[in-house]
C-alpha cells in the first residue's frame, strides 16, 4: 500500500487497482487546517457518505467498492474505492442564497452566470435549485465557473450530465433532509469517469464538510443562519442515530468543538 496523496482532511492510498480513502479528524476552514482535530470526525463523515450512497444509487453510481475491506485500524473511517479519471470541476448545487453566491448576486444579479430574480437576500430560498460550479484548484481557492466554462473545459455532453446529476442529488438530499427537519442550503459534489466512461460520484456526499445544513425550525431568511453541525440539534441527530451504536464518533458532530467543521470550499 502506498500513500499517494495527503489532503487537508483525507489521505489517499493506492492498493493494487483500488484506492483507499481515509478520512482524518482534521478540520479545514477555507483551505486552512486548524491545529486541533475533532476526535471521531472522520468516522462521522465516512458513515454519512455511506448512508447517502445507498440512497442515491438510483440516481448515480458511486466509487465505493467496500467499507469493510480496509485495514482494521481504519475501519469505520476508510473506504475502498475504484480509481477514476477525476473531472476537474467542483459541482455545486444551491437551493438557498448565501456565502459567495450571495456576494455574486448582490454584485451582478447572477450566480455563476445564472440570472436570479430581484429582491433576494441572505438565506433566501431560490425559485429552483441552480448549478453553480467552481474550478478544482490544486492550490489556493476554487474560482467560480459558468456552465459555459464547464462545457468549454469538459465538453457539452459531460457538462450537461454533471449539471443534471448534481441537481438530482441535491433534490433527493434536500427532500430526505427536510423530512428530518434539516434544510440543505447547498452542497458540493465531485465526479470522475470509470474505465468504461461511466460518470461516477466520488469523494464524499452530503456531509457537513461539503454542505450547509440549517435547522428548519430556526430558519429565518434575511439573516445568517445557524448551521446545524455547530451545536446539538434533535433533527440532525436522527441522521446520525443509526451509526451511534457502531461508533461514539457521531456524538462529536454535536460538540461545540466541531464548530469549524463546515465545508472548506469557499461557497
The answer to whether the beta carbons of residues 41 and 27 sit under 8 Å apart is: yes
State the Cα–Cα distance between residues 186 and 170, nearest whole angstrom: 8
pLDDT of residue 264: 43
- List the grid coordinates of 188: 458540493
Q: What percent of the chain has pLDDT over 90?
A: 75
In the predicted model, what is the mean pLDDT of the chain?
Answer: 86
Domain range summary for the chain, segments of one domain joined by +: 2-82, 85-248
Superfamily of domain 2-82: Phosphorylase Kinase; domain 1 (3.30.200.20)
For residue 83, how far is the Cα from the chain centroid?
19
Please list, in sequence order, all residues whose beta carbon lies within 8 angstroms of the beta carbon of residue 171, skipping any fewer than 6 positions away: 129
Q: What is the pTM of this model?
A: 0.84
Q: What is the pLDDT of residue 211?
A: 95
Q: Which of 249, 238, 261, 254 has the alpha carbon at shortest distance from 182? A: 238
Average pLDDT over residues 85-89: 97
pLDDT band at 57 (very low <50, low <70, confident <90, very high): very high
Which residues, 6 or more positions from 194, have their beta carbon under 8 angstroms from its beta carbon?
Answer: 61, 82, 84, 200
Residue 139 pLDDT = 63
The CATH number given to 85-248 is 3.30.470.20
Query: What digits encode the pLDDT tens for the residues 111-160?
Result: 999 999 999 999 999 999 999 999 987 666 789 999 999 999 999 999 99
pLDDT at 142: 81
Q: Are 199 and 191 in contact (CB under 8 A)?
A: yes
**What is the maximum alpha-carbon separation in the chain?**
54
Strands 10-15 and 2-6: antiparallel
Average pLDDT, integer, range 105-116: 97
Q: Binning pLDDT at 50, 70 and 90, where does residue 212 land?
A: very high
Whether 233 has a pLDDT exceeding 50, the answer reads no
> How many whole angstroms separate alpha carbon 114 and alpha carbon 157?
19
Q: Over range 78-106, report the average pLDDT.
A: 97
* CA 258 – CA 37 distance, rounded (Å): 9
Average the pLDDT over 85-104 and give the result. 96
Amino acid at each position: 500500500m502506498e500513500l499517494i496523496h495527503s489532503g487537508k482532511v483525507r489521505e489517499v492510498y493506492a492498493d493494487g487497482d483500488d484506492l483507499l480513502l481515509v478520512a482524518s479528524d482534521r478540520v479545514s476552514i477555507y483551505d486552512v487546517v486548524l491545529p486541533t482535530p475533532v476526535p471521531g470526525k472522520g468516522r462521522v463523515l465516512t458513515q454519512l457518505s455511506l448512508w447517502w450512497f445507498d440512497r442515491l444509487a438510483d440516481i448515480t453510481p458511486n466509487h465505493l467498492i467496500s467499507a469493510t475491506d480496509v485495514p482494521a485500524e481504519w475501519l469505520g473511517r476508510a473506504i475502498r474505492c475504484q480509481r477514476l479519471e477525476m473531472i476537474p470541476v467542483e459541482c455545486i448545487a444551491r437551493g438557498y442564497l448565501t456565502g459567495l453566491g450571495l456576494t455574486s448576486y448582490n454584485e451582478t444579479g447572477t450566480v455563476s452566470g445564472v440570472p436570479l430574480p430581484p429582491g433576494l437576500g441572505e438565506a433566501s430560498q431560490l425559485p429552483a435549485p441552480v448549478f453553480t460550479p467552481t474550478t478544482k484548484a490544486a492550490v489556493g481557492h476554487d474560482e467560480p465557473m459558468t456552465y459555459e466554462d464547464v462545457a468549454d473545459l469538459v465538453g457539452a455532453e459531460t457538462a450537461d450530465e454533471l449539471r443534471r446529476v448534481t441537481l438530482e442529488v441535491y433534490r433527493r438530499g434536500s427532500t430526505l433532509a427536510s423530512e428530518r427537519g434539516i434544510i440543505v442550503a447547498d452542497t458540493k459534489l465531485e465526479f470522475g469517469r470509470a474505465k468504461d466512461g461511466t460518470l461516477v460520484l466520488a469523494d464524499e456526499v452530503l456531509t457537513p464538510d461539503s454542505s450547509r445544513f440549517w435547522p428548519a425550525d430556526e430558519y429565518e431568511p434575511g439573516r445568517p443562519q445557524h448551521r446545524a453541525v455547530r451545536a446539538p440539534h434533535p433533527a440532525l441527530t436522527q441522521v446520525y442515530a443509526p451509526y451511534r451504536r457502531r461508533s461514539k464518533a457521531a456524538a462529536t458532530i454535536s460538540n461545540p468543538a466541531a464548530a469549524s467543521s463546515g465545508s472548506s470550499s469557499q461557497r
